[in-house]
Structure 1
Amino acid sequence: MRRAEQGPVLLYHRLVVWLLFLILLLPLAGTLLYSLATSWSATVLPSGLTLKWYLALWSDARFLSAFGHSLLVCFGALLLSVLLILPLLFVVHYHFPRLDGLMNVLILLPFAIPPVVSSVGLLQVYGSGPLPLIGTPWILIGCYFTVALPFMYRAISNNLLALNLRDLMDAARVHGASTWQAAFWVVLPNLRKGVMVALFLSFSFLLGEFVFANLLVGTRYETLQVYLNNMRNSSGHFNSALVISYFFFVLLFTWAANRLNKDLP
């Protein structure tokens, strides 16, 4: 009897979820259709479909340059994060496990200060003097490193907790490996999925960052989000193609991160 009653309830819940999903999907579907329309003004549906807006976007040297700048800054920040966080996490979890609680508080500090406030302080410090970094990609790499830090730390830390690090290290040392040999040849390969999840999630977030990029570099080192902001007064079809292209890349990396996350031990 209970199973018979659960059937209509489960169906109702599924219908509600799919209805909400369709409502959330409607703006994106409208943007996609507008990016493919030749013209769309006084009619319910566009008068025709075309790929010329996407061709114009991907043949625009300014867009390609901005996209390359975003990739360079994101990859630089993520590389710096991996090189600094992996050794730090190993030392904390293996030698000083009691510090993990303190580290969980410290890594959230970048989110405690609004990006606008941080940008004003950075403008004062690095706008002149011995390190004039404003307008260069180096200032963005440093800022993006602090933004990616919580994502990287938590994803890799969770992976380390699932490994039972101390037993794994003890087993490797019994077979003659030193501490750093065991960390490099035994622990690191077991962290590859956690690292990949952290990289994909961080990249998806950093690719859409606008405040730091706009205030600290602007058009002097135009990134994808700054380019999108500067092109807001151009053709709506062109901007829609840009938004859909950006959404596609973010969706691709988020999907990859979710797939890897399901396979984590």
Structure 2
Amino acid sequence: MSRCEYLYHQGVVWLVFLILALPLLATLLYALSTTWGATILPQGFTLRWMAQLWSDPRFMTALGHSLLICLGALIFSLVLVLPAMFVIAYYFPRLDAIMNVLILMPFAVPPVVSSVGLLQLYSDPPLMLTGTPWILIGCYFTLALPFIYRALANNMQAINMRELIDAAHLLGATTWQAALLVVLPNLRKGTFIAVLLSFSFLIGEFVLANLLVGTRYETLQVYLYNVRNESGHFSSALVISYFLVVLLITWLANVLNRERG
């Protein structure tokens, strides 16, 4: 590749990056501006909106609720999905084709429709889960399932899981010892990618959270919806803070993953 072609491709990449970053930069400027009306640039800058947001106990509570629900759903997903996937991949590989269809079912039903059914099922005894975080953890488990299953299935195929287990058998390990001590460490990268994809999707979910729990267990997206009319600057500060929280968690996860590697 000549230098001119290299510079051209580099310029295209930076142009695409700039186009994608412009809305976020504009939101950041609006969050830091005192007023921004008829002028091209803000008339002044301030940290007032950021300080007001992060000093709001309601915001901190909503952020904690979102993180707890996402973390609970992801742990629940991994605890259930990992053993099930191992059994399917090693003992019943023909079921993989059926699972590839079943895991797409959560996306076949619109969230509004599923919310109506869940409200009818879990608003009366014996399982009155409406308005509690438990119903969201269950719903988010089904939403995270396609991301986790597909990422781990690809990872299992890439590491030749059956050959690893057969090699462990030759060395005297049982099947479950091979799964825990040989296969599971090799699935770390796939698990890491699955968790990050699921987390970035779940923390931005609004429909189920608003309809099933609302302000009774207010999450970050419900909080954003409820304060949207207070101030455009305040809402922009909330959007930027939401983006920074996701970015920080992703960065920390990358650092931990690199250190363990």
Q: Which amino acid aligns with 1:77?
A: A
Q: Cα offset for 1:210? A: 0.3
Cα distance in structure 2, aligned partners of 1:233 and 1:207: 22
Q: What is the SS of the residue equivalent to 1:97?
A: coil
The whole-number CA distance in structure 2 between the counterparts of 1:260 and 1:153 is 22
- TM (norm. structure 1) is 0.90
SS in 2 for 1:205: helix
| Runs (4+) off by over 6 Å | 255-261
Q: CA shift at 1:257, angstroms? A: 8.0
1:131 Cα deviation after fit = 0.6
Query: 1:79-118, aligned counterparts within 5 Å?
Result: 79-118=75-114
Aligned to 1:146: 142
Structure 1 residue corresponding to 2:50, chosen from 26, 44, 54: 54
Q: How big is the shift at 1:25?
A: 2.0
Looking at structure 1, the residues matched to 79 and 37 of structure 2 have their Cα atoms a distance apart, in angstroms, of 52
Residue 164 (structure 1) aligned with residue 187 (structure 2) = no
Q: How does 1:187-206 map to 2 (within 5 A)?
A: 187-206=183-202
Instruction: Choose the corresponding residue for 1:240, options 219, 236, 242.
Output: 236
Counterparts in 2 of 1:212 and 1:59: CA distance versus 1, 3 Å: same
- 1:243 maps to a residue whose letter is V
The offset of 1:233, in angstroms, is: 0.7
> Comparing 111-120 with 187-196, which one deviates more in the overlay?
187-196
Task: State how far apart, in whole Å, the 2-side matches of 1:33 and 1:64 are.
Answer: 23
Q: What is the aligned partner in structure 1 of residue 71 from structure 2?
A: 75
3-state SS of the aligned residue for 1:49? coil
Which stretches in structure 1 are left out of the alignment for 5+ residues? none
Mapped contact 1:35–1:53 kept (Cα < 8 A): yes
Residue pair 1:201, 1:257 contacting (<8 A) in 2 also: no
**CA shift for structure 1 position 187:** 0.9
2:181 to 181, 185, 193: 185
Q: Does 1:130 align with 2:126?
A: yes
Aligned length: 258
Aligned to 1:43: 39
Check whether the contact 1:140–1:212 (CA below 8 A) recurs between aligned residues: yes
* Whole-angstrom CA distance in 2 between matches of 1:60 and 1:258: 30
Structure 2 unmatched ranges of 5 or more: none
8 A Cα contact 1:193 1:260, kept in partner: no
Please say which of residues 62-71 and 39-48 is displaced more in the overlay: 39-48
